[in-house]
Amino acid sequence: QQQVKQSPQSLIVQKGGISIINCAYENTAFDYFPWYQQFPGKGPALLIAIRPDVSEKKEGRFTISFNKSAKQFSLHIMDSQPGDSATYFCAASNNSGAGSYQLTFGKGTKLSVIP
């Protein structure tokens, strides 16, 4: 069964600090790894995504680090702000064969950034 394991379940970070959320996967056929951000009462929205041909992708304060051999990837939020307080989901998909175009999500991390 395809699985994406996400940790921690919740995270409290002080304003200006670094938030780190980790994910691990089992299916070596996964070839797309997005992160989604969800605010209370809203649907998830794509934050940043990476494909396994690169080890890191940065967009503003958000960085994905990808370790193909360890089958792990992580989200780093630099200079965390109270407005970053949300639930973050990692996800993975394989885009060929059975199950194409399906995203498998982690269980989410609730991030709270305190002033």
Partner 1 sequence: NAGVTQTPKFRVLKTGQSMTLLCAQDMNHEYMYWYRQDPGMGLRLIHYSVGEGTTAKGEVPDGYNVSRLKKQNFLLGLESAAPSQTSVYFCASGRGAWKTQYFGPGTRLLVL
**Chain positions contacting partner 1, by CB under 8 A:** 6, 9, 31-32, 34, 36, 41-46, 49, 51, 89, 93, 95-96, 100-108
User: Is the separation of the CB atoms in 75 and 66 below 8 Å?
Assistant: no
Q: How far is the CB of 15 from partner 1 (least distance, A)?
A: 27
In the bound state with partner 1, the residue whose beta carbon lies nearer, of 14 and 55, is: 55
Least gap, CB of 25 to partner 1 (angstroms): 13
Least Å distance, CB 49 to partner 1, is: 8
Q: Is 69 left (phi over 0), alpha (psi -120 to 50) or beta?
A: alpha
**Burial, 75: exposed, middle or buried (Cβ in 10 Å; 0-12, 13-18, 19+)?**
buried
Closest separation in Å from C-beta 115 to partner 1: 27
Q: Which is nearer to partner 1, 9 or 69 (CB)?
A: 9
In the complex with partner 1, the residue whose CB is nearer, 31 or 76, is 31
Task: Let me know how long the chain is.
Answer: 115
Contact between 11 and 21 under an 8 Å Cβ cutoff? The reply is yes
Question: Closest CB to partner 1 among 46 and 114?
Answer: 46
How many angstroms separate the CA atoms of 92 and 24, rounded?
A: 10
